[in-house]
């Protein structure tokens, strides 16, 4: 009996040890949330108490970047670990008619995604929110790219309404009664998506699980349940938005703030859920955004909210305001609370980081470096440089090395390009172009950018020069 | 103006005729959808940034 008890104890130890080696992983990505729209990044008007709690209990990164300043290429690079110069998707690329909801250019079958890597280690994998990497049935279908579970918007265009007529559950369109895809409806998709994400945690509480939660908030249209507006409705002067862009709203400032606070509230529910199941200590939570705040000022008053804290540029631009994004990481007992890191890091590091956390080798060629050492307080290998290759909004490239950053905008219109050079330590708002004073650096950065670019297979993504 | 009676100031709801009482949720049903031309589905289908 004693030996049996000992055997059982030893077995239990190995099961526990094995589980501890494979923590649950939650990667939350907001949609068009700006660099300074969280309290922990200086936001003073929008309340984000649960995300601020994550920041205080974990590490806050101050030099973290998306891979691209719009949705689809940012998501592609996140999933594959490849920067824009090596990625198959280098801008948004819509499939089908605009209102057909047939999705975007599919993620290729030969890519290895974060989901697929984690399946090797037995993770249950679920994606909840906006996919944007291929419609159901295509090779980019999340169910064919390493995810057991999908719930939300497969198509980015579909996600332009938060009271949609249907939602995608696995690979099926499920009608949402009471919704007519106009201003109002009965079923708020971000609520349904959050509920589905929590149900995924319930179903997989014995772990390990990977919860990829690319929420559609705060991307336009401005739509939020009325009761969520209450904290903000009398706070500020409002100019109703009645334009012909997304959807009108009588109080756009309140609506935008309320959407972000709604997102924060759902993340609070997730934290409570992890506590409920005793999973908080064995779960790593990442929070970031896919790109900077939208440039549609009548709908999102980015000056009023100081959304990018004086950085230059917004969504769609490779200036800092379009690409620098929050990154919060909480892992109780492993990541010391209340830390700040200025490590130069990017979304295309996520694959390497998550793979290292899960203990799975990465065979695919990728451009990332795991930032797990930084999280654990160990010596960190660093990028020689970060690179952006974005075929949208006129064709742009950028490279950051240390404090210096080179940008060449509008390359489709001006194919020869004129490089801009900034010292971000002295000029974080990229106001003073130093290219003429540092011609050697401007030339070497330009050469590095060209050497970092593979010619894309998709003709629409081709511009400027390739190695 | 305080239509809601709970201290909630009214925003210009003439623009949103379906939502006559701001104390009620704005999303209670399809019958409250304003009938403005700019809310038509054809306009909603215009190409907008993702």
Q: For A112-160, write each residue's pLDDT tens digit.
A: 999 999 999 999 999 999 999 999 999 999 999 999 999 999 999 999 9
* Helix H or strand E encompassing B48: none
Instruction: Give the 3-state secondary structure of residue B5.
Output: coil
Distance set, CA A127 to CA A22, A25, A420, A423 (Å)? 19, 12, 39, 38
Confidence of residue B24 (pLDDT cuts 50, 70, 90): very low
A305-314 per-position pLDDT tens digit: 999 999 999 9
Contact list in B for residue A315 (CB cut-off 8 A) is 49
Rg of chain A taking only CA atoms, in angstroms: 22
CA proximity to A326, closest of A66, A81, A26: A66
- 8-state DSSP, B28: S
If contacts are CB pairs under 8 Å, which of residues 358-387 in chain A contact chain B? Answer: none
Confidence of residue A246 (pLDDT cuts 50, 70, 90): confident
Rounded CA separation A450/A441 (Å):
14
pLDDT of residue A350 exceeding 60:
yes
* Average pLDDT value for residue range A33-60: 98
Rounded CA separation A311/A428 (Å):
7
CA proximity to A133, closest of A82, A89, A67: A89
Beta bridge partners of A341: A61
Quote the pLDDT of residue A16: 39
Q: Is A182's CB within 8 Å of B39's CB?
A: yes
Q: Is B50's CB within 8 Å of A250's CB?
A: no
Contact list in A for residue B11 (CB cut-off 8 A) is 233, 238, 240, 250-251
Q: Which residues of A71-97 are buried (b: 16+ CB within 10 A; e: fewer)?
A: bbbbbbbbbbbbbbbbbbbbbbbbbee
Beta bridge partners of A287: A28, A328
Quote the pLDDT of residue B9: 32
Q: Is B33's CB within 8 Å of A227's CB?
A: no
Q: Is B45's CB within 8 Å of A98's CB?
A: yes
Between A327 and B23, the more confident residue is A327
Rounded CA separation B38/A252 (Å):
16
Rounded CA separation A251/A255 (Å):
6
Q: Which of A4-8, A131-135, A157-161, A356-360 has the lowest mean pLDDT?
A: A4-8
Contact of B14 with chain A, judged by CB distance below 8 Å, is answered with no
Instruction: Give the 3-state secondary structure of residue B42.
Output: helix
pLDDT of residue A184 exceeding 50:
yes
pLDDT of residue A10 exceeding 60:
no
Contact of B17 with chain A, judged by CB distance below 8 Å, is answered with no
Rounded CA separation A424/A405 (Å):
7
Q: Is B26's CB within 8 Å of A294's CB?
A: no
Q: Print the SS3 string covering chain A.
A: CHHHHHHHHHHHHHHHHHHHHCCEEEEEEECCCCCCCCHHHCCCCCCCHHHHHHHHHCEEECCEECCCCCHHHHHHHHHHCCCCCCCCCCCCCECCCCCCCCCECCCCCCCCCHHHHHHHCCCEEEEEEECCCCCCCCCCCHHHCCCCEEEEECCCCHHHCCCCCEEEECCEEEECCCCCCCCCCCCCHHHHHHHHHHHHHHHCCCCCEEEEECCCCCCCCCCCCHHHHCCCCCCCCCCCECCCCCCCECCHHHHHHHHHHHHHHHHHHHHHHHHHCCCHHHEEEEEEECCCCCCCCCCCCCCCCCCCCCCCCCCCCCCHHHHECCEEEECCCCCCCCEEECCCEEHHHHHHHHHHHHCCCCCCCCCCCCCHHHHHCCCCCCCCCEEEEECCCCCEEEEEECCEEEEECCCCCCCCCCCEEEECCCCCCCCCCCCCCCHHHHHHHHHHHHHCCCCCCCHHHCCCCCC
ipTM above 0.85 for this complex? no
Confidence of residue A2 (pLDDT cuts 50, 70, 90): very low
Average model confidence (pLDDT) for chain A?
94
Quote the pLDDT of residue A250: 87
Instruction: Give the 3-state secondary structure of residue B43.
Output: helix
Q: Min CA distance, B15 vs chain A (Å)?
A: 8
Q: Which of A14-28, A82-96, A158-172, A257-271 has the lowest mean pLDDT?
A: A14-28
* Average pLDDT value for residue range A442-457: 98
Quote the pLDDT of residue A248: 86
CA proximity to A376, closest of A284, A288, A287: A284
If contacts are CB pairs under 8 Å, which of residues 210-249 in chain A contact chain B? Answer: 220, 225-227, 230, 233-234, 238, 240, 242-248
pLDDT of residue B38 exceeding 90:
no
Quote the pLDDT of residue A242: 81
Task: Give the number of other Cβ atoms within 10 Å of residue A359's Cβ.
Answer: 12
Quote the pLDDT of residue B46: 56
Quote the pLDDT of residue A241: 87
CA proximity to A25, closest of A213, A190, A216, A272: A213
Quote the pLDDT of residue B42: 38
Q: Min CA distance, B43 vs chain A (Å)?
A: 7
pLDDT of residue B4 exceeding 50:
no
Quote the pLDDT of residue B17: 43
Quote the pLDDT of residue A20: 53
Rounded CA separation A108/A141 (Å):
10
Q: Is B26's CB within 8 Å of A157's CB?
A: no
Rounded CA separation A284/A287 (Å):
10
Rounded CA separation A70/A392 (Å):
8
Rounded CA separation A214/A33 (Å):
12
If contacts are CB pairs under 8 Å, which of residues 284-313 in chain A contact chain B? Answer: 294, 296
Confidence of residue A292 (pLDDT cuts 50, 70, 90): very high
Quote the pLDDT of residue A249: 87
Substitution target in A102, A132, A182 with the highest count of B β-carbons within 10 Å is A182
Rounded CA separation A127/A414 (Å):
40
User: Tokens standing for B17?
Assistant: 């005729």
Rounded CA separation A27/A170 (Å):
19
Confidence of residue A7 (pLDDT cuts 50, 70, 90): very low
Q: Min CA distance, B8 vs chain A (Å)?
A: 7
Confidence of residue A17 (pLDDT cuts 50, 70, 90): very low
A73-112 per-position pLDDT tens digit: 999 999 999 999 999 999 999 999 887 899 999 999 999 9
């Amino acid at each position: 009996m004693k030996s049996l008890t000992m055997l059982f104890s030893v077995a239990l130890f190995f099961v526990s040890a094995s589980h501890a080696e494979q923590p649950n992983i939650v990667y939350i990505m907001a949609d068009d949330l700006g660099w300074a729209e969280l309290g922990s990044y200086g936001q003073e008007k929008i309340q984000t108490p649960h995300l601020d709690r994550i920041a205080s209990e974990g590490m806050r990164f101050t030099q973290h970047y998306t891979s691209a300043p719009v949705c689809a290429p940012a998501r592609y690079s996140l999933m594959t670990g490849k920067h824009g110069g090596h990625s198959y998707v280098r801008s948004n690329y819509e499939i089908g008619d605009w209102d057909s909801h047939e999705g975007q250019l599919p993620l290729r079958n030969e890519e290895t995604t974060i989901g697929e890597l984690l399946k090797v280690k037995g993770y249950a994998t679920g994606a909840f929110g906006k996919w944007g990497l291929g419609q159901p049935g295509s090779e980019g279908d999340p169910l064919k790219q390493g995810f057991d579970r999908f719930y939300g918007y497969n198509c980015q265009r579909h996600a332009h309404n938060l009271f949609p007529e249907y939602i995608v559950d696995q690979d099926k369109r499920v009608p949402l009664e009471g919704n007519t895809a106009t201003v109002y409806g009965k079923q708020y998709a971000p609520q349904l998506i959050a509920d589905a994400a929590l149900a995924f945690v319930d179903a997989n509480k014995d772990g390990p699980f990977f919860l990829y939660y690319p929420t559609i908030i705060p991307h336009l249209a401005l739509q939020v349940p009325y009761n969520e507006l209450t904290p903000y409705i009398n706070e500020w002067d409002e100019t109703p938005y009645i334009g012909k862009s997304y959807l009108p709203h009588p109080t756009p400032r309140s609506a935008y703030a309320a959407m972000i606070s709604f997102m924060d509230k759902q993340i609070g529910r997730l934290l409570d859920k992890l506590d409920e199941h005793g999973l908080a200590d064995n779960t790593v939570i990442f929070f970031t955004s896919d790109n900077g705040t939208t440039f549609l000022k009548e709908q999102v008053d980015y000056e009023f909210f100081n959304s990018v804290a004086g950085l230059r540029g917004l969504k769609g631009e490779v200036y800092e305001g379009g690409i620098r994004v929050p990154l919060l990481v909480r892992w109780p007992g492993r990541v010391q609370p209340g830390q700040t890191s200025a490590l130069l890091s990017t979304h295309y590091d996520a694959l390497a980081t998550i793979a290292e956390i899960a203990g799975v080798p990465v065979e695919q060629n990728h451009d990332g470096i795991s930032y797990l050492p930084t999280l654990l307080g160990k010596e960190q290998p660093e990028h020689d440089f970060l690179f952006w290759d974005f075929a949208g909004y006129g064709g742009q490239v950028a490279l950051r090395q240390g404090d210096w950053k080179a940008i060449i905008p509008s390359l489709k219109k001006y194919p020869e390009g004129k490089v801009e050079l900034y010292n971000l330590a002295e000029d974080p708002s990229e106001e003073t172009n130093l290219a003429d004073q540092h011609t050697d650096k401007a030339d070497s950065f330009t050469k590095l950018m060209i050497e970092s670019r593979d010619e894309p297979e998709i003709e629409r993504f081709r511009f400027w020069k390739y190695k | 103006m305080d239509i809601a009676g709970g201290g909630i100031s009214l925003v210009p709801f003439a623009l949103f005729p379906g939502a006559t009482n701001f104390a009620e949720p704005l999303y209670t049903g399809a019958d409250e959808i304003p009938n403005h031309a700019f809310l038509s589905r054809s306009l909603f289908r215009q190409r907008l940034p993702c």
